[in-house]
Amino acid sequence: MSKKVLLLGGAGFIGLNIARYLKEQTDYQITIADNFSRGKKDEYLRELLEGQKVSLIEGDFTQPSAYDTLEKDYDQVYMLASVVGVNNTLEIPHEIIRINTALIFNTLEWLKASSVKKVLFTSTSECYAGTIDAFGYKVPTPEEIPLTIQDIGHPRFTYAVTKMLGESGFLNYSRKCGFECTIVRYHNVFGPRMGFKHVIPHLAQRFLAGESPFLVYGHDQTRSFCYITDAVEGTFLAMEAPGSNGEIYHIGTMDEITIEELITEAGRFFGYTGPYENAPTYPGSVQRRCPDISKARKQLGFTPKIRWQEGLKLTLEWYKEFFNSGKESFETSFEKPKVNV
Ligand SMILES: NC(=O)c1ccc[n+]([C@@H]2O[C@H](COP(=O)([O-])OP(=O)(O)OC[C@H]3O[C@@H](n4cnc5c(N)ncnc54)[C@H](O)[C@@H]3O)[C@@H](O)[C@H]2O)c1
């Protein structure tokens, strides 16, 4: 029998790719619910909606009434809806708090009254960025790291505060309210159609605009970039694995690289031969980030397959074509030095 799946926030970057992946499998009936505050009604969504397997519900799920449009008996719910992005935390921190907590609380209350079997909540490495900075915790970083907010009043931490609420909320409602729950913490997922407020689309835009010397913000900071198809597979495995109830998984790769390496590789792609110049990134950006994914490997059989260079090439090709086609980016793009990594 086919499984009924709801993707809340499913028109966004990761959600749309999970929906595509599920559509290719034999037995999933997929519903995407989104308010299109970030997800787009573009050709990729239209293509996904072709046929009988995927349907769309449009609504603002910060409103409890929006949940009346959903069914009550999904086998699986992927909870992806959220306001994301470092720029947003700095510009609209009060909205991050309002929207993300409302989405979490309303979804939990709806789950309490429904017969959904399993939920996956999407969290972030930002929840422990403060632990690395304040306490020098180990990198690569495993799931049991304590979560830290270094400065409770700083707008930057609003996103992490809401994701911590989500982790605690979903795990604890799940135990009391009769549904299973798994948390994934993503680590720098990237790929085509990821939006424009991220270091990789910024790079494409800046190289195409002919910036020279090319400024390298936070050159010695490290990240590990996870290509979207690997992130989707890890998420799917976390949802499907019978033993994953109540567990948290770090989803990413252990290929830790510097921002300088990332940028010079992108420069090679664009044929840039000019000089590079190091520049400071904005304060509060974590110096090192790399997940330990041993738990996901062992318990889920998660094996990232796309090396960062290959993923970068695929992503830059997409953005190059996008910008060269004259299409408008659907978000404000590069504003130095708010580099969102
Ligand atoms: N992309 C990453 O590297 C990354 C890293 C860490 C965590 N995450 C988490 O994974 C999830 C998906 O991330 P993404 O990169 O696809 O982000 P995204 O912004 O592309 O997707 C989020 C979706 O939620 C929708 N949404 C927002 N408010 C809503 C509302 N009130 N009602 C209904 N829908 C609403 C947006 O329109 C968007 O389509 C998010 O929860 C994010 O916090 C992503």
Q: Say which CATH topology domain 3-189+225-251 has.
A: Rossmann fold (3.40.50)
In short, whether 201's Cβ falls inside 6 Å of ligand 1 is: no
Ligand 1 centre distance from Cα of residue 15 (Å): 8
Give the SS3 label for residue 31.
strand
Residues with Cβ < 8 Å from 327, sequence gap 6 or more?
none
Q: What residue owns the CA closest to ligand 1's atom 4? A: 186
Ligand 1 atom with least separation from CA of 39 = 39
* pLDDT score at 339: 41
Pocket test for ligand 1, best of 67, 126, 183, 186 (most atoms within 8 A of CB): 186
Entry field: residues in the chain: 341
* pLDDT score at 87: 84
Q: What confidence tens digit (pLDDT) does each residue in 49-71 have?
A: 999 999 999 999 999 999 999 99
Q: What residue owns the CA closest to ligand 1's atom 5? A: 186
Ligand 1 centre distance from Cα of residue 145 (Å): 24
* pLDDT score at 330: 60
* pLDDT score at 337: 43
Please tell me the distance from the alpha carbon of residue 79 to that of residue 119, in angstroms, as a whole number: 7
* pLDDT score at 338: 42
Q: What residue owns the CA closest to ligand 1's atom 41? A: 80
In short, whether 15's Cβ falls inside 6 Å of ligand 1 is: yes
Please tell me the distance from the alpha carbon of residue 29 to that of residue 2, in angstroms, as a whole number: 6
- Reported as type and span, the H/E element at residue 16 is helix 13-24
pTM (2 d.p.): 0.96
Ligand 1 centre distance from Cα of residue 38 (Å): 8
For residue 180, report the phi and psi dihedrals to the nearest 5 degrees: -85, 155
Q: What residue owns the CA closest to ligand 1's atom 44? A: 186
* Chain centre distance of CA 297: 19
* pLDDT score at 305: 98
At how many degrees (to 10) do helices 158-177 and 126-135 cross?
Answer: 120
In short, whether 13's Cβ falls inside 6 Å of ligand 1 is: yes
Residues with Cβ < 8 Å from 239, sequence gap 6 or more?
76, 78, 118, 120, 182
**pLDDT < 70 regions, the chain:** 282-283, 328-341
